Amino acid sequence: MIELAGVHKAFGTNAVLRGVDLLVPRGTSMVIIGGSGTGKSVLLKCILGLVRPDAGVVRIAGENARTAGREAFLARFGMLFQGSALFDSLPVWQNVAFRLMRGATKRPRDEARAIAIEKLRRVGLGPEVGELYPAELSGGMQKRVGLARAIAAEPEIIFFDEPTTGLDPIMAGVIDDLIREIVVEMGATAMTITHDMRTVRAVADHVAMLHDGIIRWTGTVQEMDATPDPYVHQFINGLAQGPIASVR
């Protein structure tokens, strides 16, 4: 479904991605782990074309993302940004319903609003939150609104950049369940970036570890626990000692 081959991206002299190869089958959930600043967010943006890769190809269902019709291409995606990226000029419900109120899939305002309220409920937010502005919400609430916006139009492919960062453990559990549900019930293909090992175990079919600009390791959760790979071992156990330097 999502296929990356030899993706490179450098910012000036900072070579962030140095040949990423990755395959995410349709209807599965891939979790990307890796140290802070290794380029996980940049990787998702390369797939979406928000950041233009210097080399390599990205294919979605066999179609080259670079040459695909942009409109139709993006209509298949939902994305939760690491910093939520809510539109602060619009109230929360209009943020969630943004795609529903514009473009090809435009719906009547009331219907869009009802869908937005329903999606907010699924991320644990009441209807009254819909009337507030993003600046009036806490960081964790903003994150959940971003999540509701990402899933509002029920896209085929959903990217979650750190969906549970900044949430309390209970809410993090709710969001983990939601992501799992979206993949299993809606048959969506998901890519999730997280530093939270509980989220990894809860949502992943496959795990990939990004390190030094390449996919260092990939496998299932069971394989992850059993792997002798010292990088993965150090990372998932949060050890200070190991091949990954703590100053990066």
Ligand X SMILES: Nc1ncnc2c1ncn2[C@@H]1O[C@H](COP(=O)(O)OP(=O)(O)OP(=O)(O)O)[C@@H](O)[C@H]1O
Q: Which of residues 1-30 bind ligand X (CB under 6 A)?
A: 11, 14, 16
Instruction: Report long-range pairs for 7-15 (Cβ below 8 Å, ≥24 apart).
Output: 7/43, 7/46, 7/53, 7/55, 7/56, 7/57, 7/58, 8/53, 8/54, 8/55, 8/56, 9/39, 9/42, 9/46, 9/51, 9/53, 9/54, 10/54, 15/213
Per-residue binder mask for Mg ion (CB under 5 A), 29-68, x = binder? ------------x---------------------------
Could you tell me which of 159, 150, 151 has the C-alpha nearest to residue 2? 159
Per-residue binder mask for another protein (CB under 8 A), 104-123, x = binder? x-------------------
From 8, 15, 75, 82, residue interacting with ligand X (rule: CB under 6 A):
82
And the tokens for 76?
């298949």
* 102: partner contacted, choices Mg ion, another protein, ligand X, none (Cβ within 5-8 A by kind): another protein
* Binding window for ligand X (CB under 6 A); candidates: 33-41, 130-138, 198-206, 225-233: 33-41
| 78 sits near another protein (criterion: CB under 8 A) | yes
Least Å from the CB of residue 96 to another protein: 11
d(CA 243, CA 12) in angstroms, rounded, equals: 26
* 247: partner contacted, choices another protein, Mg ion, ligand X, none (Cβ within 5-8 A by kind): none
d(CA 133, CA 235) in angstroms, rounded, equals: 38
Per-residue binder mask for another protein (CB under 8 A), 209-248, x = binder? ----------------------------------------
Contact 52, 213 (CB under 8 A): no
Q: Which of residues 36-65 bind ligand X (CB under 6 A)?
A: 36-42
**Cβ closest to another protein, residue 68 vs residue 75:** 75
Contact 246, 240 (CB under 8 A): yes
Which string of b and e fits 85-104 if b means at least 16 CB within 10 Å?
ebeeeebbbbbbbbbbbeee
* 38: partner contacted, choices another protein, ligand X, Mg ion, none (Cβ within 5-8 A by kind): ligand X
Binding interface with another protein (CB under 8 A): 45, 48, 50, 71, 74-75, 77-79, 81-83, 85-88, 98-99, 102-104, 149
Which residues form the interface with ligand X (CB under 6 A)?
Answer: 11, 14, 16, 34, 36-42, 82
